[in-house]
Amino acid sequence: MATTQAVAPAAVNTHLKSIPEHVVQDDSQSCIPFSVATAAFSGTNQVTDDIVAKSGFAGYFENVHPVQIELCISLIAESFRKLRCDLQRTKPGQKLRRIKATGHCQKQLDFCTGMLQDAGLIRSEGDELIRTDKPAPAKASKEILDQLLEEHPTVASLNNLIYLAGSQLGNIWSGRVDSVRAIIGDTNGRQYLEDVYGPAHPSKAFHMLIEDYVARLLKEVHPTETQKLQVLELGAGTGSTAKWLAPLLAASSLPVQYTFTDIGSGFVSQAARKFQEYTFMEYRAQDIEQPPPTELVGTQDVVIAVNAVHATRDIVQSLRNTRQYLKPGGVALIMEMQERLCCSDFIFGLFEGWWLFEDGREHAIAEDVFWKEAFLKAGFTHVDWTSGNLKDSGVQKVFMAINGGSAAS
């Protein structure tokens, strides 16, 4: 369990917004009225498709995802060949050599085997895998990658990450290379991952949705020096969200405190250096799977978690922990994957956290109905989420939930 310790003291932005006389200041209540929170989210929801299209993500399912599937299948076939299971040389009807992986990577290997089955290249008969008569992939993975990079440059980091992970599969499955080090330990891999979680697709469009909502809130709330707007981020990682959130908060000229937290003390220390110009930020090591420390219970107006809650054992318990940070009336903004893209299991299935779930889920990615029930079980009294008519708008969703009770309950 990570320790909870402040890394740098917070300082206050001294610019004030005029406060209407009717606003009652009460430190125990959130400075975000229910009507403001819900109206702002309704406004964001109405422009979901517009924001997704403006970001350049519209058309992903039609134009990009099918080629990414082709890339994954080519990489899997090449990895099988390296492990003496050559689809090119195996005759139709012949049994394939069964490949095994070490530890949690067996589940990712099972997913990859399923991709070959879905592509019609192999079929299962009991415990055996049988080669079909469908020709093996004709294009090499590097050729497919080059095509994607040329035709879809806005998704370059994700495509490069698929290729980086796929080119290491044989070594990872056999245990010769640690899966985390193969990606995060690689300088390019770290950058690709940071891009995918932040300024690049598929996250870019959905970060823009959160940004739109927070901007709407900032126009309507009236914090004071004695009741600053308190914002806390859980699972903040490499700072992908903080890169746009910190400038947005700074530009508002409101009295605000933004607490950056992550279970990894290395991420926290790195963030303290990266965002040192924002004097309203402080940094703490904190585990989303553990309740908040006493001094943070019931202190926050907004808690944000981006693609973090799914990677916990129990979503309800993690959301309950999240709610305990909030003041009554406080808002949780949770962004999560909703579509099972081929790249999700292909890349993130190599990380142990992808398979931690012990809460009845069949997969790390859960549908919006599951999330709604989880929020309500965790004690939130109002739940909403982004939606749109574009299929691309449903790749990830932003959930907004309001804490209607006391933080400690």
**CA atoms 265, 267, 268, 274: torsion sign:** positive
CB 116 within 8 A of CB 160: no
Percent residues over pLDDT 70 in the chain: 92
Could you give the CA distance from residue 143 to residue 224 in angstroms, rounded to a whole number?
Answer: 57
Percent residues over pLDDT 90 in the chain: 89
Name residues whose C-beta falls within 8 Å of residue 236's C-beta, 6 or more positions apart in sequence.
242, 260, 261, 262, 267, 271
Task: At 394, list the tokens.
Answer: 């449903």
User: What are the angstrom distances between the C-alpha of 377 and each of 207, 247, 318?
Assistant: 26, 34, 11
- What is this structure's pTM? 0.90
- DSSP label at residue 91: P
pLDDT value of position 198: 87
Q: Which residue intervals of 253-299 are DSSP H helices?
A: 265-274
CA count, 13 A, side-chain hemisphere, 304: 23
Going by pLDDT thresholds of 50, 70 and 90, the confidence category of residue 3 is: very low
CB 316 within 8 A of CB 359: yes
Closest to 386 measured CA to CA, from 206, 245, 201, 204? 206
For 118, the enclosing helix (H) or strand (E) is helix 105-118
pLDDT digits (tens, 9 = 90+) for 254-311: 999 999 999 999 999 999 999 999 999 999 999 999 999 999 999 999 999 999 999 9
Q: Is 134 helix (H, G, I), strand (E, B) or coil?
A: coil
pLDDT value of position 222: 95
**CA atoms 258, 190, 158, 114: torsion sign:** negative
pLDDT value of position 10: 35
Residue 22, pLDDT above cutoff 70 = no
Q: In angstroms, how far apart are the furthest CA atoms of the chain?
A: 81
CB 211 within 8 A of CB 203: no
Residue 6, pLDDT above cutoff 60 = no
CB 324 within 8 A of CB 138: no
Going by pLDDT thresholds of 50, 70 and 90, the confidence category of residue 378 is: very high
Is 15 buried (19+), middle (13-18) or exposed (0-12) by CB count in 10 A?
Answer: exposed
β 122-125/300-306 pair status = unpaired
For 128, the enclosing helix (H) or strand (E) is strand 128-131
Could you give the CA distance from residue 103 to residue 91 in angstroms, rounded to a whole number?
Answer: 31
- DSSP label at residue 83: T
Convert 225-264 to b/e letters by CB count within 10 Å (16 or more is b).
eebbbbbbbbbbbbbbbbebbbeebbebebbbbbbbbbbe
User: What are the angstrom distances between the C-alpha of 266 and each of 8, 80, 212, 262, 272?
Assistant: 14, 36, 30, 9, 10
pLDDT value of position 13: 34
CB 71 within 8 A of CB 144: yes
Could you give the CA distance from residue 330 to residue 32 in angstroms, rounded to a whole number?
Answer: 7
Residue 12, pLDDT above cutoff 80 = no
Residue count of the chain, please give it.
Answer: 409
Which domains occur in the chain, in start order?
Answer: 34-56+202-402 (3.40.50.150), 60-197 (no CATH)
CB 339 within 8 A of CB 366: no
Going by pLDDT thresholds of 50, 70 and 90, the confidence category of residue 213 is: very high
pLDDT digits (tens, 9 = 90+) for 169-200: 999 999 999 999 999 889 999 999 999 988 89
Going by pLDDT thresholds of 50, 70 and 90, the confidence category of residue 21 is: very low
